[in-house]
Structure 1
Amino acid sequence: MTRPHIEYLDHPADVKFRVYGETVEEAFEYAALAMFGAMIDPDTVEPGRTLEIDLSADDCEDLLYDFLSELLYLFEVEEIVFSRFDVRINRCDDRYHITARASGESIDMEKHRFDVAVKAVTFHDMKIEQVDEGCMIQVLLDT
């Protein structure tokens, strides 16, 4: 039996999830999908518009935080919901760099039903770990 890629964990007030990918890049993709999946049904989002994201950070946790926060910013300011992600991560000169493509569409209140309002990504209980199957990421979102 294979492990599910996205698991939503019980939390009394916020949204907590754990994702698994064969690589850290795939795990970042599932983390982004899990964040949007907490807010809406990603199956209702057509990936017709693609935005590029380039970020750098000192470590993978900071990079994950910055990546998810940038997606949340684009959601709030540009009013875009995303359903597909393509992530590449490189390490250069003791810094991590992410180049990502996020695909989605403009928010349509008749089409996209929002379940949860995510206020922010947090560092609380954030984990990025190598596991037998690849990479596990855990994130807590402030709602």
Structure 2
Amino acid sequence: MSFIEKDHTADILMHIRAPDITGLFADAGQALMKTMYRGTAKPVQEVSVTVTGRTLEELLHAFLSELLYESEVQNVVFSTFEFQIEDGKVSAILRGEPFDAKIHGGGTEVKGISWYGLSIRKEQNEYTCDVLFDV
């Protein structure tokens, strides 16, 4: 897992790095869950999602938005992600456990995923991006 929080005036800005695109998507998902929840979640419940987009940035934004939605609606803290990424489509299996305030409480409410500055770059042997979580 490779992400760090960077300084931002009002929201939460995460810088994410991974050796490949699936790793980048997984680390972005981890960054979102670690922002919203504390503690760890066991992968005991499974949800499948599919999103579409024309670019990698659109796919990442759509995935993170769907992850946020599923976590809130299903009341689940996701901990692992399995991806199949094809041209214009991401299919993912999200695994986690039901939210328990004693274990997962104390995170930051995320309202949405911002498009501001969302750009996936390939730098040497890794992919990087900055993702802004609206809080």
Structure 1 length-normalised TM:
0.89
| Equivalent residue number for residue 101 of structure 1 | 93
Q: Could you tell me which amino acid in structure 1 is paired with residue 106 of structure 2?
A: F
Deviation at 1:118, TM superposition (A): 0.3
Alpha-carbon deviations, 1:86-135, whole Å to 9, x = none? Answer: 122111xxxx1111111101111122123211000010111201111221
Distance (Å, rounded) in 1 between the aligned partners of 2:94 and 2:67: 8
Aligned to 2:58: 62
Whole-angstrom CA distance in 1 between matches of 2:40 and 2:126: 29
Matched position secondary structure for 2:64 = helix
Distance 2:125 2:3 in 1: 14
CA RMSD of superposed structures (Å): 1.3
Identity %: 28
8 A contact 2:76–2:96 mirrored in 1: yes
Superimposed CA distance per residue, residues 45-69 of structure 1 (whole angstroms, 9 cap, x where no aligned partner)? 1111111111111111111111000
What is the Cα deviation at residue 76 of structure 1?
1.4
What residue is the counterpart of 1:31 in the other structure?
Answer: 28
Misfit runs of 4+, over 3 Å: none
In the alignment, residue 104 of structure 1 is paired with which amino acid?
G
Q: Which moved more, 1:122-131 or 1:108-117?
A: 108-117
Query: Structure 2 length normalisation: TM-score?
Result: 0.94
1:109 and 1:122 map into 2 onto residues whose CA distance is 27
Matched, 1:82 2:78: yes
2:4 counterpart of 1:7? yes
Matched letter for residue 59 of structure 1? T
Residues in 2 aligned to 1:101 and 1:134: alpha-carbon distance in whole angstroms: 23
1:51 corresponds to which letter in structure 2? V
